[in-house]
Structure 1
Amino acid sequence: MFRQPEIKPVAAAVGAVLAVLFSQLAVAQGVATERELSPVVVADGGSYVPLDPTLPSSSHSVTRKELQNQSFVNTEDALAYAPNTTVRKRFIGDRNANLSGRSFGTLQPARGLAYVDGYLISNFLGRFDAPRWNIVAPEEVARTDVLYGPFSAIYPGNSIGTTVAITTRTPDAPEASARVLAYRQTHDDYGLKRDYGGDQESVFAGRRWGDLSMSVSLNRLAYESQPMAYASASATSANVAGLPVVSGAVLDRDPSGKARAVLGATGMQEGVQTQAKIKLAYDIGKELQADMLFAHWRNDYRVSNETLLRDADGNPYWRPASGSSAVNIDGQRYTVPAMPPQRGEDEHVQFGGRLRTTRDVGWNHSIQVSRYQMDTDSLRQANVSDPFAKGAVAGSDTRRDGTGWTTLELQSTWTPAQHLGHALTFGYHRNLYELENRVYALANWHSSANRGAETQSYLGKTEVQALYAQDAWRFHPDWVATLGLRLERFRAFDGAQFAAGSRVEHDDRSASAASPKLSLSYALSDTWLLRASYGRGVRFPTVSELFQGTVSNNSIYNNDPDLKPEKSDAMELSAMRDTGAGNLRISLYQDNIRDAIYQQRQDVGGVAVNTVQNVARVRTRGIEIAWQAADVLIEGFDLQASAAYNDAVTVSNPALPATEGKRFPRIPRVRASLHGSYEHGPWTASLGIRHSGRQYGELDNSDRNADTFGAVSSFTVADARFIYRFGRQASLALGVDNLTDERYYVYHPYPGRTLYAEFSLAY
């Protein structure tokens, strides 16, 4: 039944001392957000109590119990079956697992927001930087909520796509759990067949002592990835006189249909990630709570490559460290690219706190602050291919040390004592993103100790300050009108680039935006809820979109310090039904985006020139159907299913008219998923199927050859899992992801069939 839910805090709030110490810091969720995201309760018999009808947008929620019945190796796996959502997880431990949703693709990470216990983990710094999922251990996740579209004034303009709110475990009684997992993947592509594997160990513990509660989580992941890319070349002539004759190249066609030779596999990562987090919460008084957290993540890894070429004696052939790089392949002249190895070292920390009041009715206030900082972020690369890089050869070191973001959220809410009335929210938000990306020459690429001159750099800062207000007005027992307004002020400053011996200082700039929101909900009956929503969202450019311009091998990346912000006018009509054992949602939506920010690519003399530009207008229309239910037909059988049709079109693009009328990149026409689990006694078996339809990687849709490296494939993937529980304390799980060993690509190859075994203990 759709009724006013009980308000329960997701976590205790930030310490007053931290609020003073970190007054420049930041984040997002507060007491108003928690009112919107009331807990999904699994009642006796498995029936679900739906979310608050004052929630102005469609949503999807998944609990820890449901996550335990699916493949859940990394935190982002919680979104695997979220309706109309894709996570570009290229391998277990991928630090760039980008989101994609209704109206945005995986190359537009700034259109998604991600929070953990209200702390912002969205990385709006690099072009392909995903939310920092790695800062959260899967063992500590209690629940995940997904919100669609820019319909709430509480969230920043980056919510024009999808907002993910992760809640971690906060024990009231002594609680502990541990998990050990091992996995193995077989990957067979372009003639290279290898096994890749790893292991993961997790521990979580927490308890409460009177007014004080504490939880600790530890996680270690040793991982290996399949190749992330392939080195390729095109024939340039038939003049092969005097060139070394090599074999082993795999001839195929690139995404646009042009002939090419694949010469080697690149980007195979191997490393160890460790994560540690401590959370403290304290009830200062009956109606005053404080909390704080500190999280640490470290990643040490290396990147290697594999040549497919063989010389006349059958030995591996690499591009020479010096001299000619041309070879004779089947009577045609090819230039072998360098495949340099890399070494990476990352050490990131996140800390923050919150202070708030927790009255059931009347006024509540909160202040929340946080900082995410990259203490060390280094990627060293040799100047030559793998076999020639074992000695003390020259290279480069790309560093982002000190980069990070800070946020501050001040919020006040009013909750009426009666069923009818106004639920008010007022707030102030500030975020500051700071980027320092510097490239140094190395005399010996194995160590940063001999760092030489700076060869490239791009620097800059962006700041958004916002005032917002929202009123969820229940003016009738069956009607709720939610009205909101967000006023934002954007500033970009201290932007600079250095390359080819010259430095460019960019002018500071600023912009303002107003984003109105309106939603109307009607409880048609005890089981049906209807809602119409409109929202404007303004997404300002990121630091890298404004200031990052680089030259790398055969690619040039041009930035634009004068980019306009993206402006989204979104509408949604939804019908939701509480079935008693679950819920059904049907949503129609349209998203008109003006000045969409996208990286447009052109080939100029064999060099890929990528330019970040505004696309004048992009329109997405679609329909979503999502269903969750417990005890379907028989007791113990739970099912969730979703299907979505998206029609995303580039309506106007004066910068590249050939793209007009074409489908917008990386948004498939059809997304669908199905996940069922059956529990009988100590046994649980589950099967999930995920489908993504045809999509393109280029704005002009010229990449018509979809099932090849560099393209964006359609796919249908099945995952299975079996669990046996030894009482309430221990369980053993066996699973397989990509059951049919589907070979598919998102430019990079996705993983092949992956087997895993997992043993868990809980107290």
Structure 2
Amino acid sequence: MRRAQTMPCPRPHRGSRWPNFRPFLRIGIRSMSNSSHCLATGLLAGVMVSAAAVAADDTAVLPEVVVSATRTEKTVDEAPGFNAVVGRGELEQRSLESLDEAVNEVPGVYVRRGKGLMDTLSSISMHGIPDGSRSLVLLDGAVLNDAYTGAVAYGGLPAEFLTRVEVAEGPASALYGGNAMGGVTQFVTRLPDKTEFQAKLGFGDAFKDGEALANMRRLVLTGGTRLDNGLRLFAGLSGQSSDGFPTDMVTSTTAPAAGLSGYQTITDTKGSLRYLYGDKGDNGWSDRNALVKAEMPLADGTRLRASWLGTRYRYDYDDAHAYASNALGDAVYYPSEASYAGGQGGHERNLWQAGLERPLAGGVVNVGLTYNDIGKSWYVTPGSTSATTLDGGPGTYSGTASHYVSADLQWTRDAGLAHTVTVGTTLRRDQADNEEYLLADWTDEDARGAIKYRAGGVSRNAALFVQDEWRLAPDLTAYLGVRGDWWRISDGYAEQFTAPAFSERYASRSASAVSPKASLVWKARPDLVVKLSAGKAFRPPTAYDLYRTWKSSSGTTFAGNPELEPERLTSWDLGAETSPWRGGLVRLDYFENYMSDLIYSTGSCSGSGCIRPKENVGKAFGRGVIVAVEQQFGAALHLFANATFNDAEITENSANPALEGKDLQHLPKTMLNLGVSGRHGAWDYYLARRYASKRYGTDDNSDVVSGVPGAFDAYAVVDARVGYRLTKNARVALSIDNLLDREYYASYRAPGRSWLVELGLEW
């Protein structure tokens, strides 16, 4: 970790580098690269000025509304459990590369993103429940968790398409079914109330070549209107790309050959000797996104809505870098060229939604139809033999097509006698198919030859749910809900066409889950709300868990298991929210999680001939505390600080008792966030510090070494943004990520300090 140095703040000057049309945006930036604290100091000084200016501001701040917690509109203090809303104003004040980053400062939430924009394995987990497939993610009510692994491909979908983000923490299967063990995150897209057009153009770069996102380019166009007949329309287009930076290191246990120099002697995450010989090159990225959304009100109170979201992204690697050289000074790709081949991949998604809301039988009925089609999610793995070189040679193409279609019906009515009842049903069908092909040339994903492997299956789910909002007293409300899910798994298959060949067809099977939840919300005083909740949740095994069998580069075979049962959770939490002074908010939450039937790849062997099947063998217990403090000065200045403490460990593992007492993977014990955002005149600014303690990437917690490839290091990063409104219709902003240039690994090498300048136009 690099320690920040205190230096006098230099005056801005023009930089001397002018390649790739960059330098006209580097004015004043190179000087800041040597004294990052200057920007932080300036921003904090601005905070003091703004605080003084707005301390007496009586501007009212509208209450934040959340739908995810109850499927009905509630303010954050009325909704049960721990909830948060990231509003449009806050989204505009931050520089966000993808959707998941919108919630990385919400207390209780951990955003796993290893190498910045290029990370295809990013995830959101919350409330002490690790792994993104155990938390439900929605976009306007449509599930984004895919039908293959339960993960979410966030891609580069821009925050400019959003009006707010809702976070409802704690088990939510009573309303949403599977995947909602840790809670629900919902991204809500925009529908304007007047005619508006916006354009945003951005360009950025790393402060130091090879250490952060290089040659970053962004373009976002949005427009919308509301016609006289009430029809609301919104359309958005976005694209961004970056040349990236080296994220994948080339390490080996092979000792250097005689005469080699320039390599580094390191260890792996378990402390065993390794050598660092180079990297696979700059990990580039590009994506394109489009959103079209419409809503039409009718005379009888009916509203019709429809939308389409299209997402495309691709990543690849530029020329590899060999650190080692021979006696003549020539670079040497050691121990083999194949070790430096990076591969490429991509993702294509079309999300279609249609809905209807109308009065019915004294209540309101909502009908939603969704078709989420991931036509292609693919990646190329170069071969590992001497036949594979940086110019080509054999490799493997893996592509997965998955989709789901769902229908959701919900009816809500104020039933009188202090009851509001919500009942509904959900029908859903998922299908996923994975195929692997041999490639004659790994640099060309279309050069597919014979099929190597395929697997997939179909699942069908039917659910009924009911919730009663029971106002026991003017200051006491109970939420009582239960949902039953019944699903059938069918058409499962797995076939391997290369030695050792096999072909399996799996029998259909059925399973079910009942998920109750009860909550109390007590408004003890006008400035104090106490909340108590308890419930059950589950995560059904995915097609990947059930059927996918694959072999690692070491020769270990990881096998699916078509007999897996759902993972299950029982959880309770107790929290309080108080406003002890004007503009202040203090929130405290304590929770306990009891997990069972955890799905593990059993066995501890590795290497050629080792087989590690998935089994339901685990139990875990976790508890945590969330503390959050906020201070709002009118509508102009917001200060926040929050801390999350998790203590979660495996309590039972029949396949490997040695794991008992070990921490759950990918769950920080401590997370801390501290920040400020504000507006003063034509200026707006944002400054935040995020900290996450070390996580384990292995179930036996053996990856204890930090600062090496594969490690999940503790990190503390500072992000900053300052904007200025040039005219009524134009504004410019400068963002700096990882302001203090902290170096760390999140399995991959994490991005260093980078800057982004954006010009926004609106009319």
TM band (smaller chain): 0.7 to 0.9
The aligned counterpart of 1:471 is 468
The aligned counterpart of 1:20 is none
- Return the TM-score normalized by structure 2: 0.85
Q: Structure 1 residues 601, 201: closer, same or farther in 2, change over 3 A?
A: farther
Q: Structure 1 residues 428, 384: closer, same or farther in 2, change over 3 A?
A: same
Q: 1:175 aligns with which of 188, 196, 218?
A: 196
The answer to whether 1:219 aligns with 2:241 is no
State whether residues 597 and 617 of structure 2, in contact with CA within 8 Å, keep that contact through their aligned partners in structure 1: yes
Amino acid at match of 2:332: Y
TM superposition shift of 1:452: 1.8
The aligned counterpart of 2:160 is 139
Deviations 1:494-525 (A, max 9, x none): 22222232222223222111111111111101
The aligned counterpart of 1:35 is 72
Q: 2:454 aligns with which of 454, 457, 468?
A: 457
2:603 and 2:244 map into 1 onto residues whose CA distance is 28
2:297 and 2:585 map into 1 onto residues whose CA distance is 36
TM superposition shift of 1:447: 4.1
Please list, as runs of the form range in 1=range in 2, the aligned pairs for 1:691-730 lying within 5 A after superposition: 691-730=691-730
Q: Structure 1 residues 313, 385: closer, same or farther in 2, change over 3 A?
A: farther
TM superposition shift of 1:103: 2.1
Gaps of at least 5 residues in structure 2 are: 1-61
The aligned counterpart of 1:617 is 619
State whether residues 91 and 225 of structure 1, in contact with CA within 8 Å, keep that contact through their aligned partners in structure 2: no
2:133 and 2:537 map into 1 onto residues whose CA distance is 12
Please list, as runs of the form range in 1=range in 2, the aligned pairs for 1:314-713 lying within 5 A after superposition: 314-318=329-333, 338-357=339-358, 362-383=362-383, 389=389, 393-400=393-400, 402-416=401-415, 421-447=418-444, 449-499=446-496, 500=499, 501-554=501-554, 555-578=556-579, 580-599=582-601, 602-605=604-607, 611-631=613-633, 636-713=636-713
TM superposition shift of 1:743: 1.5
The answer to whether 1:68 aligns with 2:68 is no
2:479 and 2:299 map into 1 onto residues whose CA distance is 32
TM superposition shift of 1:194: 7.3
TM superposition shift of 1:345: 4.4
The aligned counterpart of 2:102 is 78
Q: Structure 1 residues 186, 547: closer, same or farther in 2, change over 3 A?
A: farther
The answer to whether 1:271 aligns with 2:285 is yes
Deviations 1:396-431 (A, max 9, x none): 32222x422222211111125x7x611111111123
Q: Structure 1 residues 353, 33: closer, same or farther in 2, change over 3 A?
A: farther
Q: Percent same amino acid among aligned pairs?
A: 26
SS in 2 for 1:154: helix
State whether residues 97 and 158 of structure 2, in contact with CA within 8 Å, keep that contact through their aligned partners in structure 1: no
The answer to whether 1:153 aligns with 2:154 is no
Q: Structure 1 residues 665, 608: closer, same or farther in 2, change over 3 A?
A: farther
- Return the TM-score normalized by structure 1: 0.85
The aligned counterpart of 1:112 is 135
Amino acid at match of 1:161: G
Q: Structure 1 residues 280, 387: closer, same or farther in 2, change over 3 A?
A: farther
Question: More displaced, 87-96 or 530-539?
Answer: 87-96
State whether residues 340 and 386 of structure 1, in contact with CA within 8 Å, keep that contact through their aligned partners in structure 2: no
Deviations 1:75-108 (A, max 9, x none): 2221121112121222125343211223233xx2
Aligned pair count reads 694
TM superposition shift of 1:270: 1.5
The aligned counterpart of 2:33 is none
Q: Structure 1 residues 392, 691: closer, same or farther in 2, change over 3 A?
A: closer
1:510 and 1:268 map into 2 onto residues whose CA distance is 47
SS in 1 for 2:742: coil
1:275 and 1:734 map into 2 onto residues whose CA distance is 23
Amino acid at match of 2:644: A
TM superposition shift of 1:246: 3.0
Deviations 1:82-138 (A, max 9, x none): 112121222125343211223233xx2210111111122122523xx7423337432
SS in 1 for 2:215: strand
TM superposition shift of 1:606: 7.7
1:187 and 1:646 map into 2 onto residues whose CA distance is 36
State whether residues 338 and 382 of structure 2, in contact with CA within 8 Å, keep that contact through their aligned partners in structure 1: no
**CA RMSD of the aligned region, Å?**
2.8
1:35 and 1:273 map into 2 onto residues whose CA distance is 34
Gaps of at least 5 residues in structure 1 are: 11-28, 39-49, 320-326, 328-334
Amino acid at match of 2:145: S
The aligned counterpart of 1:207 is 225
Amino acid at match of 2:353: G
Deviations 1:36-89 (A, max 9, x none): 4x4xxxxxxxxxxx4252x22211111111122223232222112111212122
Q: Structure 1 residues 213, 481: closer, same or farther in 2, change over 3 A?
A: same
Amino acid at match of 2:483: R
Q: Structure 1 residues 637, 9: closer, same or farther in 2, change over 3 A?
A: closer
TM superposition shift of 1:609: 6.4
1:343 and 1:572 map into 2 onto residues whose CA distance is 44
Q: Structure 1 residues 197, 531: closer, same or farther in 2, change over 3 A?
A: same
The answer to whether 1:122 aligns with 2:145 is yes
Amino acid at match of 1:714: A
1:109 and 1:267 map into 2 onto residues whose CA distance is 28
Amino acid at match of 1:484: G
2:548 and 2:422 map into 1 onto residues whose CA distance is 37
Q: 1:259 aligns with which of 270, 273, 276?
A: 273
The aligned counterpart of 1:57 is 81
The aligned counterpart of 1:17 is none
The aligned counterpart of 1:14 is none
TM superposition shift of 1:273: 0.8
